[in-house]
A = this chain, B = another copy of it.
Amino acid sequence: MKKTFEITATDPESSARTGIIHTEHGSIQTPAFAPVASQGTVKALSHSMVQNLKAQLILVNAYHLYLRPGIEVIEKMGGLHSFVSWPGPILSDSGGFQIYSLTPLVKVKDDGVEFSSHLDGTRIFLTPENVIDIQMALGTDIMMLLDYFCPFPSSKKDTKQAAKITTEWAKRSKSHLQKKRFTRQLWGICQGGIHWEIRKQSIQELMAIDFDGYALGGLGIGESKTQFLDMVEQSDSILPKEKPRYLMGIGYMKDILQAVEKGIDFFDCVLPTRNARNGTLFTHTGRLVIKNKKYERDERPIDEECTCYTCKNFSRAYLRHLYERQEISSSILNTLHNLHFYLDIFRKIRHAIQSNSFRQLKYSILNKIEEGEQV
């Protein structure tokens, strides 16, 4: 079978590395950032805009698409790539996280999870097997298994139980997929909260099953930065070097840079796109809240160093006007900028690792960006 991941450079000073994930719809240079397109569209952009930003893939949510328009519709349309007309790689999240965070009356049973649809209350029963079937019907390039998510804080006992069920489901997912002879990738999701012994065991059990990639789940949900970084660092020490590692849902630039340093290859987060719609813009010198009165007559672009369409053409004053008028073009232009900002930093990260200057880049970015500070 074709190799799905290769490492192209390693940072001599840290665990940072660059690599290539190969998929049937193209390759993904890592470290990579996946723009979130839960419903099959990056919010507030057309695909052509996402392509112009040189996004390498999009991330969809299997749970949302399963509910609407439904798997049958997407199959009838020739699969998800064809239905949404996205030619590049697509990763589908299983929706495990959404089940636990969006839906009422969740009951985890041995063979799966039962819950009420967040839309109309219909009882739904998802199993490791049917979550694989759903993603196979979507035909996405990278599938995520159904995990049992544990909120923060959770007791050791609950965390252990969640990790145990996740392992059990992981085994069933893998064996179900093997029966189907489907060649797309399946990545595992490790649980364990902030309890290293539990997370360690979760990782080891998943490694024993053998997945194409390993995701760290259940982080960035309320634990301290120290706890978070400790988990990432310890995971790095036991995860197989030759497989891609995915830190789910983490989007603050500081966390991303530190995680790359600890060997993480893959990220996704709604932060750049959601914040854009709310008028919070990322710049090389911190955040800018476009509705602020002080930008009313500000002729400068959002970020003077930025080369995106928005920054090359429009002033803060105009963008503030569009935001205040609740114009849709405000969401478009702001999202273009924020996503460009993220993807551009990832390009710089990859370039820096390949030229042995990652730590230098990291400090130069972090010295200027202080999360929460305003321009």
* A positions within 8 Å CB-CB of B: 39-48, 68-69, 73, 76-78, 83-85, 296-297, 299, 309, 313-315, 317-318, 320-322, 324-325, 327-329, 331-333, 336
Contacts and interface: CB of A to CB of B under 8 A. Distances in A.
A48, A84, A328: which has the most chain B beta carbons within 10 Å? A328
Contact of A77 (B39, B45, B85, B299): B299
Contact of A314 (B85, B313, B315): B85
Contacts of A332: 44-46, 328, 332
Given A83-B321, A332-B332, 9 more contacts: A39-B327, A44-B332, A45-B329, A46-B329, A46-B333, A68-B324, A85-B313, A85-B315, A328-B328
A85 B318 contact: yes
Contacts of A78: 299
Given A46-B309, A76-B297, A333-B46, A317 B69 contact: yes
A270 to B, nearest CB: 14
A69 B313 contact: no
A72 to B, nearest CB: 9
A83 B40 CA distance: 34
Contacts of A329: 41-46
Contacts of A327: 39, 41, 43
Contacts of A68: 321, 324-325
Nearest to A64: B325
Contacts of A84: 318
A314 B47 CA distance: 10
A371 to B, nearest CB: 26
Contacts of A333: 46
A317 B79 CA distance: 12
